[in-house]
Amino acid sequence: MLRVVFMGTPEFALPSLEAIFNSGHRIIGVVTQPDRPRGRGRKLAPPPVKVWAVERGLTVHQPERVRNPEFIAMLREMEPDIIVTAAFGQILPKEILDIPPLGCINVHASLLPKYRGASPIQQALMDGETSTGITIMYMDEGMDTGDIILQKRIDIYPEERADQLHDRLAVLGGQALEEALRLFEKGRPVGQPQDHEKATYCKKIDKSMGSINWAESSLRIKNLVRGLTPWPGTFTFCQGQRIKVWKIKEWEYSKSKDHIPGQVVAADEHQGLVVACGDGYVRLAEIQAEGKRVMQDVEFIRGNPIPVGTVFDNEP
């Protein structure tokens, strides 16, 4: 039986924590981020990992910074055999990486060395990838640069959004971790070094990334919407009104008239809301005006007529 410290914060981490809990190994501590203000009332709310752990009687630690010497000293006293992280949210210093004799391992939501960094799920969708997966890797001082223990691949569905892919990868992460822990029961498995020359990186998602540039191709715009839905969402402006775009479809529009990017070429019950791109056309299948609910495009234009020829823009 391994003595395990788990570090994770959001919902993505729950299947991994559950995999350890059900494996028969002993979770001697759960480390997660401090409670943060959430919602309109900005009330302090615990992270999902804390809620899950407390319900099962596990000891929870919430250091503001894991580099704090007192926290590192406490971690040493706990004497974990292994530390497992999944979407924890802080980088572990060498002092922590050196504590467990079996090492620190991480559940990462891409097939490394592709998509190192903070947003591998969103970036894979924005780039139009057709497959992705989970990597269980040893942690070192770099950003997702450690040796690979095992990987599991899945296909990405053509219309899949970030939240849907997130949920499937979270489950796959738990399955992959369960498999990896069985390897550790026989000792420390040898990892496979990454090919650093093939590494790609993805940065933290920023709300400004959701601004639709209509000069892009219809495929790139569709993938942007898939990658940033539901958060932070993609948006455009129509006659000064901010419109959030929830679902988009590439659209075959055969009329030969030249259109400028962002121009509405159809807005009716039959065709829906069709907009010209730098290359091709898209239908804005599900949209939302500020302060309103999400609507199908035909329902939206019934109550908010948009004349053909109107130009969507990336600023008010």
Domain count, the chain: 2
pLDDT above 80 for 19: yes
pLDDT tens profile 271-307: 999 999 999 999 999 999 999 999 999 999 999 999 9
CA angle 270, 271, 272 (to 5 degrees): 100
User: What residues make up the domain containing 19?
Assistant: 3-202
**184 and 103 assigned to the same domain:** yes
For the chain, how long is the longest CA-to-CA vector? 73
Of 202, 237, 266, at which residue does a domain stop? 202
Residues 104 and 227 occupy one common structural domain = no
Peptide bond into 37 cis (omega under 30): no
Distance of alpha carbon 253 from alpha carbon 281, whole angstroms: 7
54 domain-assigned = yes
Which pLDDT score, from 0 to 100, does residue 84 have?
98
Residue 41's CATH number: 3.40.50.170
Q: Which of these three, 181, 202, 223, is where a domain ends?
A: 202
Q: Quick one: 296 and 196 in the same domain?
A: no
Pairing mode, strands 26-31 and 295-296:
unpaired
- Which residue reads 């009104």 in tokens? 241
Rounded to whole angstroms, how far apart are CA atoms 283 and 260? 15
pLDDT in tens, 85-115: 999 989 999 999 999 999 999 999 999 999 9
Two tokens at 225? 């919407």
163 and 232, same domain (yes or no): no
Whether residue 187 is contained in a domain is answered as: yes
pLDDT mean over 61-84: 97
Q: CA distances (Å), 144 to each of 95, 99, 104, 177, 262, in order?
A: 17, 19, 12, 16, 39
**Residue 109 sits in the same domain as residue 239:** no
pTM, two decimals, is: 0.93
Answer with the one of 202, 237, 265 that is the final residue of a domain.
202
CA distance 114 to 49: 27
What pLDDT score was predicted for residue 250? 87
Q: What is the CATH number of the domain that holds 280?
A: 3.10.25.10
Distance CA 173, CA 157 (A): 18
- Those residues with Cβ within 8 angstroms of residue 309's Cβ, 6 or more apart along the chain or in another chain: 263, 264
> According to the model, what pLDDT value does residue 252 have?
79
DSSP 118: S
* Pair 42, 181 in one domain: yes
| Whether residues 174 and 34 fall in one domain | yes
Q: pLDDT, tens digit, for every residue of 221-277?
A: 999 999 999 999 999 999 889 999 999 998 876 665 788 999 999 999 999 999 999
